[in-house]
Structure 1
């Protein structure tokens, strides 16, 4: 039987678009308060105004070390506790290793891996002191299969899988659940970096899913009774046949 999220306080990174926005809307519909974290202040303010008083904007640049470090303390000045941290922000690099740059690699690893680890590091003392909490991270099917057409991105998601599953075990004695959701290709801004031919074929074959499908999976994970942890949920388009 599903447990209620009414009254829970969630933090979602990358909340101004895509999976983050869809999950924000889904959790608000479940009665939660959502702190929406993103770097885009104008977009955050517009969305918070539309979504209502339970949507709280938090402007953070996860690629800036000081801004990233200040995120959890600043959020705890706005709300009195955090029940849920959903580390969703990320970026994408596709194609052969030679088709990218060192700068792009640094940016992607800093956002996809380092920021996740730092955000979790910063929230864990708060959650362990309360002896409860949920941490979820957006991974990818690419974190489970050697997707040779996107080796840099896949490597970041394999790192995320390792971090989440080691943290899951570390947090068991503290009452904090840790898991990941691993979507296949999602209709989002990240697909702008896909090779045009791959994107065209995926759209034509129905091999993409909507962000709301991932949000539904996150809600399912969060509403299990506390004695149950969904350690990972793969959400794939039915017609996705590349793995």
Structure 2
């Protein structure tokens, strides 16, 4: 039996595009209020006007320490509480390690790893105080397999997998569920940085999936009865045969 999301309040980072936007639309359709977190203020303004009053804009730059730290307190000035935190925002670096730069590495790790840990750190006291809540993080198939064509990105997702699964165990006594969704290649802005040959082959073979498929997985995780935790859901395009 599934649980209803009607009346729940969700926070989604990276909500102005891709998986974040698809999940926003999915949860709004299920009756939830969604706080859309993104650094793109203009995009949020346009989207919340289109999506209706249950879509709430929160402009936050997760790579900026002060902005990141202010996110949860600012959100709690706009909504009564937070039932769901979906840490989805992320960056991608592909190719050989020598093809990137230290600055790019720092920026990606700050967003993919540090911001996730900080966001969870900020929301945990709120959720444990209420003795309920759901935390989900967008991981990747790269967090389960040594994807040699993207070592920096894969390292960030292995770190996320470790963090999610350790926090899942810490939160069990407090009634807070912690899970991750691990997609294969998704049609999104992140793929703009894929090695051109890999992207061409994936498109030609049908080895990409739509963000809505990941949103469906997130909804499934969230709607299990409270006595069940889906610790990770790996969602792959059927034709993706690299792993």
Q: TM-score scaled to structure 1, two decimals?
A: 1.00
Counterpart for residue 205 of structure 2: 205
SS in 1 for 2:76: helix
Counterpart for residue 192 of structure 1: 192
Q: Residues of 2 paired with 1:240 and 1:80: CA distance?
A: 42
Q: Number of residue pairs matched?
A: 243
Alignment of 1:70-219 (within 5 A): 70-219=70-219
User: C-alpha deviations, 1:154-188, integer Å up to 9, x for none?
Assistant: 00000000000000000000000000000000000
Q: Residues of 2 paired with 1:222 and 1:110: CA distance?
A: 27
SS in 1 for 2:239: coil
Superposition RMSD in Å: 0.3
User: C-alpha deviations, 1:47-95, integer Å up to 9, x for none?
Assistant: 0000000000000000000000000000000001000000000000000
Q: Residues of 1 paired with 2:194 and 2:218: CA distance?
A: 25
Q: Residues of 1 paired with 2:217 and 2:182: CA distance?
A: 10
Q: Residues of 2 paired with 1:197 and 1:128: CA distance?
A: 46
Q: 1:207, CA displacement in angstroms?
A: 0.2
Query: Which segment is superposed worse, 195-204 or 20-29?
Result: 195-204
Unaligned runs of 5+ residues in structure 2 are: none
User: Is residue 17 of structure 1 aligned with residue 17 of structure 2?
Assistant: yes
Structure 1 runs of 4+ with >2 Å offset: none
User: Is residue 52 of structure 1 aligned with residue 57 of structure 2?
Assistant: no
Q: 1:197, CA displacement in angstroms?
A: 1.2
SS in 2 for 1:202: helix
Q: 1:124, CA displacement in angstroms?
A: 0.1
Q: 1:103, CA displacement in angstroms?
A: 0.2
Q: TM-score scaled to structure 2, two decimals?
A: 1.00
Q: Residues of 2 paired with 1:176 and 1:2: CA distance?
A: 17
Unaligned runs of 5+ residues in structure 1 are: none
Q: Residues of 2 paired with 1:61 and 1:195: CA distance?
A: 27
Q: Residues of 2 paired with 1:99 and 1:196: CA distance?
A: 14
Q: 1:195, CA displacement in angstroms?
A: 1.1
User: C-alpha deviations, 1:82-126, integer Å up to 9, x for none?
Assistant: 000000000000000000000000000000000000000000000
